[in-house]
Amino acid sequence: MRISLFGTVGLTLLAVGCSDGGRAPDGLENQPVQQSLRLETFNDCAALEQYIEDSATKQMRTVLEQQKPGYWERFGRGRGGIVFGPVPADDAGGEVTSGGGNGAPPPQDSTGTNNQVEGVHESDFVQNDGTRIFVLSGNRLYAHRSWPAEQLTLAATLEVEGWPREMLLDEHDRLVIVSQVALSLPGTPAKAGTGPGGGMTPVADMACYGFGCGYYNADSTKVTTVDVSDVAHPTVVDQLYLPGVFNQARRVDSHVRLVLSDAFRWPEDVRFWVDFSEDLYRDEGKLTKAIDALIAQNEKRIRANTLDRWLPAGRHVDAAGVETALPTACGDFYRSNAPAALGFVTVASVDLDARTAAPGRTSLVAEPGTVYASRESLYLAHPHYWWWPEPGQKDFTYLHKFDLRQPGRAVYVGSGTVEGTPINPFALDEYEGVLRLATTVTTRVPEPEHEDWWWGRTTTASRVTTLGVQDGRLAELGRSEDLAEGERIFSARFVGPRGYVVTYLQVDPLFTFDLSDPAHPRKVGELKVPGFSTYMHPVGDHHLLTLGIHTEPTNGGCCGTSNVKLSLFDVGDLANPKEVSTQLVGQAYGWSEALYEHKAFNYFAAKGLVAIPFTDSASYTTYEDYWSSFRTELRVFRVDLAAGISPVGAVPMSDLFKKAGAPEWSYYYTPEVRRSVMADDYVYAISDAGVRVSKVDSLQTPLVTVPFPASTP
């Protein structure tokens, strides 16, 4: 399992509690939702610096105020300021001429990256063009000649600085590789999502626990452009270093947009707790004074910091090795008039046809959120920031739209506010200038049966909202009725004037929407089947191929049996959607990366095939037996709109797998099958350990396997 920088499974951090009977400290009160949302530029660098320092001071105060005596005891919580676990009582749950071998013609059809929007190419750690497959594994790029399939071979490797994340390939043989690097920029970087309410906590004040160092301590993003016209000799032609952590990238033609998130870089001498002293912690008055003194001392150090340390410069290195500094331009920064957690989000625009030009940067002083991009627009969505949970609160999302039609810059268009939060980018879609957004609205209400539950409990409902640009802002055009009270959205997909939403509690309702009139989006049909779908893929004009979890309904219990499930839905009649075919994949409790990563889901329309990675260890009985029963493989199914879904077979990859924790593999990645490529009658399975190809009619008998050497970044 590859661990995400933006969320660690199994640990929830929540800031709760207020002083004086539930009231927040002065200056740290909850701020109301901003319904007239807009972004504002800074008049000068002094204004930008002051805003950063004001925000940093507030965040610092929030952390330290929670450490004062009595802060948590009044709520029966104990001291410490952070509660581990969920909130109690939450009810809702062009032709290529260089790649082919022996002058063979390229395949007639092949699959590429599974992109959400046609023509908007998404970055991934695998890229291919039918005759060449490029894979990032460890700290290397592996370049393969992949056609003819029987002659699959590793043509070249290229070591990449730092920790490679993803890449993009264009039709002019330019491979853009994005990696994380640690440049030791000034200040102490902060990790997103680990502080109170999801704010920023300095890395220096956190133990590594195996995850706070190395890759996770990288503070910059490197963009390396590689000429792969000769697959056997990939050549670096451009390098770009920018402060911040890579989130994702999109490419339209020769224009690449990178979304980066960066944290405030605290002065090294800012501290977030007082030095321990037994005498100090026995005297609550002394401890309070010591914390107040530290707050005052920290604020002086924050105010003394300079803008170049808050916002370090990037740099550009051309093919000749000549370096050029890329300083920060204060006019490129925007602030929202709504409350937001600490951080920076930057849209960096790189024109591959103009490598000497500095990348255009548009930055928001805000936390990272959901990113959606069409060919002409990019949307950033982030939640309203509640400092303290209180009854009466409701989830809201702030949306900012940017125009991408200028090659070197993302131009701000307008902003808007909508109730609820989207689950992922597929919950957003732009069609004929209208943004459709599927959200789950969580409302915090009092809990009358438990008066001591000052945080109340939550209720949920879901809906689809439409928005359009009016007078320089994103205005709500219409909204659907509320759906599925007590449930949450697990997947969404929009196809032309239609929309599809899946919610879940125990039974999976698939809702269908008619969105042809943006002012009146309406639910048309509903179908309930056990379990839930996490990904929906349009097949033809009137079908959906979905991947999710099948669950056996229980009588109020939490833990019935579950299986990965592939389903085919006929949605030709929106009012009467039908599940026409299903396939359970593997045994109970099997798992697929495609459940949460759409780029692992590979539908080959030309051949009516779908491939998903699958991992299972259901047959083990003891821990010592786990790895002997572990298997990882690529499962392939045939999809026929009349006959349904049928299994074709699997490409085994377990023999290449090295069990987690082995010295030759780092915790950062493990070589289970994760991606696939299909070309004509051949299937390629790809993992961090290598590439294997089989013929569709004999998947269990691989033709060629190209293993990667085990290497730790």
In-domain check, residue 465 = no
Q: Which amino acid makes up residue 121?
A: H
Count, residues in the chain: 713
In-domain check, residue 460 = no
Band (pLDDT 50/70/90 cuts) for residue 27 is: low
Phi, psi of 558 (to 5 degrees): -100, -20
In-domain check, residue 440 = no
Cβ proximity of 52 and 46 under 8 Å: no
Cβ proximity of 384 and 396 under 8 Å: yes
Q: Which amino acid makes up residue 702?
A: P
Task: Give dist(CA 225, CA 258) in Å, integer.
Answer: 14
Q: Is the per-residue pLDDT at 684 higher than 90?
A: yes
Q: Is the per-residue pLDDT at 2 higher than 60?
A: no
In DSSP terms, which residues pair with 597 in a beta bridge? none
Domain boundary among 368, 385, 419: 368
pLDDT at 188: 52
Band (pLDDT 50/70/90 cuts) for residue 658 is: low
Q: How much is the average pLDDT of 220-230?
A: 96
Which position has the token pair 């625009």?
A: 349
Task: Give dist(CA 187, CA 185) in Å, integer.
Answer: 7
Band (pLDDT 50/70/90 cuts) for residue 75 is: very low
Task: Give dist(CA 555, CA 624) in Å, integer.
Answer: 34
Cβ proximity of 679 and 691 under 8 Å: no
| The two structure tokens encoding residue 556 | 């109020």
Residues spanned by the domain of 541: 531-713
Band (pLDDT 50/70/90 cuts) for residue 72 is: low
pLDDT tens figures, 602-618: 999 999 999 999 998 76
pLDDT at 246: 92
Burial of residue 314, with CB atoms counted within 10 A of its CB: 0-12 exposed, 13-18 middle, 19 or more buried: buried
Phi, psi of 628 (to 5 degrees): -70, -25
In-domain check, residue 684 = yes
Q: Which amino acid makes up residue 353?
A: D
Task: Give dist(CA 409, CA 157) in Å, integer.
Answer: 33
In-domain check, residue 700 = yes
Q: Read off the pTM.
A: 0.86
Band (pLDDT 50/70/90 cuts) for residue 30 is: low
Which position has the token pair 């590689």?
A: 226
Task: Give dist(CA 141, CA 134) in Å, integer.
Answer: 7
In-domain check, residue 475 = no
Q: How much is the average pLDDT of 482-504?
A: 94
More confident residue, 174 or 9: 174
Q: How much is the average pLDDT of 205-231?
A: 70
In DSSP terms, which residues pair with 526 in a beta bridge? 511
Domain boundary among 350, 368, 386: 368
Most confident range (mean pLDDT) of 352-356, 517-521, 620-624 is 517-521
Task: Give dist(CA 246, CA 260) in Å, integer.
Answer: 5
pLDDT tens figures, 574-603: 999 999 999 999 877 789 999 999 999 999
Containing H/E element for 317?
A: strand 314-318
Q: How much is the average pLDDT of 198-224?
A: 55
Q: Give how many domains the chain has, as a whole number.
A: 2
Containing H/E element for 468?
A: strand 457-470
User: Assign residue 6 a region: left if phi > 0, alpha if psi is -120 to 50, beta otherwise?
Assistant: alpha
Q: Which amino acid makes up residue 584?
A: L
DSSP state at residue 402: E
Give how far Cα 624 sits from Cα of 107, 450, 621, 659, 660, Å: 45, 46, 8, 12, 13
pLDDT at 381: 93
Angle at 474 between CA 468 and CA 478, to 5 degrees: 50
pLDDT at 337: 87
Band (pLDDT 50/70/90 cuts) for residue 82 is: very low
Q: Among 285-289, 616-620, 628-632, 642-646, where is mean pLDDT lowest? A: 616-620
Q: Is the per-residue pLDDT at 515 higher than 70?
A: yes
Band (pLDDT 50/70/90 cuts) for residue 554 is: low
Average pLDDT, the chain: 83
Cβ proximity of 242 and 262 under 8 Å: no
Of the candidates 436, 541, 548, the residue with the CA atom closest to the CA atom of residue 494? 436
Q: Is the per-residue pLDDT at 530 higher than 90?
A: no
Q: Is the per-residue pLDDT at 217 higher than 80?
A: no
Q: What percent of the chain has pLDDT over 70?
A: 80
Task: Give dist(CA 124, CA 2) in Å, integer.
Answer: 13
In-domain check, residue 507 = no
Task: Give dist(CA 506, CA 531) in Å, integer.
Answer: 6
DSSP state at residue 698: B
Which position has the token pair 């676990």?
A: 85
pLDDT at 524: 97
pLDDT at 213: 47
Cβ proximity of 604 and 678 under 8 Å: yes
Q: How far apart are the first and last CA of the chain?
A: 16
Cβ proximity of 136 and 688 under 8 Å: no
Domain boundary among 368, 393, 410: 368
Chain mean position to CA 389: 25
3-state secondary structure 597-656: CHHHCEEECCCCEEEEEEEECCCCCCHHHHHHHCEEEEEEEEEECCCEEEEEEEEECHHH
In-domain check, residue 477 = no
In DSSP terms, which residues pair with 347 in a beta bridge? 259, 362
Most confident range (mean pLDDT) of 80-84, 355-359, 616-620 is 355-359
pLDDT at 16: 33
Task: Give dist(CA 406, CA 412) in Å, integer.
Answer: 11
pLDDT at 283: 86
Band (pLDDT 50/70/90 cuts) for residue 59 is: confident
4 Cβ contact partners less than 8 Å away, ≥ 6 residues apart: none
Q: What percent of the chain has pLDDT over 90?
A: 56
Q: How much is the average pLDDT of 567-580?
A: 97
Cβ proximity of 273 and 201 under 8 Å: no
Give how far Cα 297 sits from Cα of 63, 195, 273, Å: 14, 20, 12
Task: Give dist(CA 154, CA 142) in Å, integer.
Answer: 7
More confident residue, 76 or 116: 116
Cβ proximity of 333 and 55 under 8 Å: no
pLDDT at 691: 97
| The two structure tokens encoding residue 711 | 């290497």
Task: Give dist(CA 180, CA 467) in Å, integer.
Answer: 35
Q: How much is the average pLDDT of 4-13?
A: 28
Q: Among 69-73, 238-242, 308-312, 382-386, where is mean pLDDT lowest? A: 69-73
pLDDT tens figures, 400-444: 999 999 888 999 999 999 999 999 999 999 999 999 999 999 998
Q: Which amino acid makes up residue 380?
A: L
Task: Give dist(CA 694, CA 700) in Å, integer.
Answer: 7
pLDDT at 85: 30
Task: Give dist(CA 639, CA 539) in Å, integer.
Answer: 9
Task: Give dist(CA 13, CA 690) in Å, integer.
Answer: 37
Band (pLDDT 50/70/90 cuts) for residue 238 is: very high
| The two structure tokens encoding residue 481 | 């009725």
Q: What is the DSSP secondary-structure string of 520-532?
A: S-EEEEEEEEESE
| The two structure tokens encoding residue 160 | 């990449």
Of the candidates 641, 648, 636, the residue with the CA atom closest to the CA atom of residue 594? 636
